[in-house]
Structure 1
Amino acid sequence: MSTERRAPLDRRRVADTALRLLNEVGLDGLTLRAIAKELDVKAPALYWHFKDKQALLDEMATQMYRRMAAGTALDPADTWQERLLKENRGLRTALLGYRDGAKVFSGSRFTGADHGREMEAALRVLTSAGFTLAQAVRAARTANAYTIGFVTEEQGVRPLPGERREGYDIGERARRLADYPLAAEAGKLLFDDYDEQFEEGLALVVAGIEARYGIT
């Protein structure tokens, strides 16, 4: 710990520390003061690197993306369907690795150009399959938005794997909605088996893209 604290303070070190702290305190508890305390510096020292919390969130999202890209095995020979499936499975896995990961990632702006390489490769797979660039962008954006939205809702129930937020007991929910049998039964489908739910929803998105643009 002392060795880490003597290391030079830079943007990456601050962001990495913030990501570690995120799992302990969540997004609401992630303040510049808390991060500075973890780094054993005064809070004003962080403003040399980040003008505000959103600037820090942008760097955190960038680090999350870099780690995701490094851990997702892509093949230039992928079909466009395979590429969308792999990328969005990888995104979900990455976001689930952090408490409130989807909230941090959503709406943040990448601070570097690293993502350009992966974006270029993904768009090339889609356009080579017959999509126009505009169609490729819409298809990728739709799948991406589905994944981020899904994980946001998932983490509202399970902040981290193995945790479950109070108030999401399926049996209790069914008892409260006993007068509405379909809504009561839907709880098992809404708040459990998230892996299966995600895969089914992603398959629907891909099938919808196929149907919309007629590219198989």
Structure 2
Amino acid sequence: MNTERRAPLDRRRVADAALTLLNEVGLDGLTLRAIAKELDVKAPALYWHFKDKQELLDEMATEMYRRMVAGTPLAPGDSWRERLLKSNRGLRAALLGYRDGAKVFSGSRFTGIVHAEQMEDNLRLFTGAGLSLAQAVRATGTTHVYTLGFVTEEQGVQPLPGERREGYDIEERARLMADFPLSARAGAELFQDYDQHFEEGLALVIAGIGAQYGIE
């Protein structure tokens, strides 16, 4: 008889198992039944903790955020530009660690106030730089949405680092679009060198914030 005691089942343990399974099956294949099998419990046991899949996604996004914050220390002396660079680079790195990470994170609601401390610190930094609270929210929110959208598109091509979906061969695309030479050549800008393109896009957004609100 196996007398080894398993850790008690709670929301965080379920979310941890779901994030592990996510890299194997992706968001479409992530079911409560599959997670229950991973945890060696019956599926109804999970409904004590989550009424539906969206509640589970909320907890998964919260756990992703906890891990991201733990791995992305922010210096008190950051300028507003440095803070936006660090925060969004950290967010992208965190999302890329999971298959469909951006899809899980987008539109999810944090299950506690784990984000409040960093949010307060960011808003204090931005209002201290001369922005109104509304402008500070817009600046941080716009870069956040840029990063989520960028990674969503990136993972549509490369679900995980080193993987690439069929249909995104740059040379084949250029051949098929030979009658549209600029569009054909644009494939190299759209579907490769994601690190460089993310940095360029983020720099554009940050420069726009500075110009729009007149802050250095």
TM-score range normalised by the length of the shorter chain: over 0.9
Could you give the per-residue CA deviations for residues 42-100 of structure 1, whole angstroms, max 9, x where no partner exists? Answer: 11100000010000000000000000001002111100000001000000000000000
Amino acid at match of 1:134: A
Equivalent residue, structure 1, for 2:97: 97
1:5/1:40 contact within 8 Å kept: no
Amino acid at match of 1:100: D
Give 1:151 shift.
Answer: 0.1
Equivalent pairs: percent with the same residue?
A: 78
Cα deviation for residue 5 of structure 1 reads: 7.7
Query: Following TM superposition, where does structure 1 have runs of at least 4 consecutive aligned residues deviating by more than 6 angstroms?
Result: 2-5
Please state whether the residue corresponding to 1:6 is helix, strand or coil: coil
Query: Match of 1:24, as an amino acid?
Result: E
SS of residue in 1 equivalent to 2:150: helix
Distance, in Å, in 2 between the alignment partners of 1:210 and 1:6 is 53
On the 8 A contact 1:61/1:105 being kept in 2, the answer is yes
2:106 aligned residue:
106
Give the SS at the match of 1:68. helix
Aligned to 1:88: 88
User: What residue is the counterpart of 2:183 in the other structure?
Assistant: 183
CA shift in 2, pair 1:114/1:79, >3 Å:
same
The residue aligned with 1:20 is 20
Aligned partner of 1:87: which letter? S
Residues 3 and 176 of structure 1: CA distance in aligned 2, closer, same or farther (over 3 Å): farther
Q: CA deviation at 1:3?
A: 9.5
Q: What does residue 72 of structure 1 align with? A: 72
Distance in 1, matches of 2:6 and 2:77, equals 46
What residue identity is the alignment partner of 1:142? Answer: T
Post-superposition offset of 1:7: 1.4
1:188-207 superposed matches below 5 A: 188-207=188-207
TM-score normalised over the length of structure 1: 0.98
Q: Aligned in 2, Cα 1:39/1:5: closer, same or farther, shift over 3 Å? A: farther
Deviation at 1:6, TM superposition (A): 1.6
Structure 2 stretches lacking a partner, 5+ long:
none
Q: Structure 2: how far apart are the matches of 1:105 and 1:140? A: 16
TM-score scaled by length of structure 2: 0.98
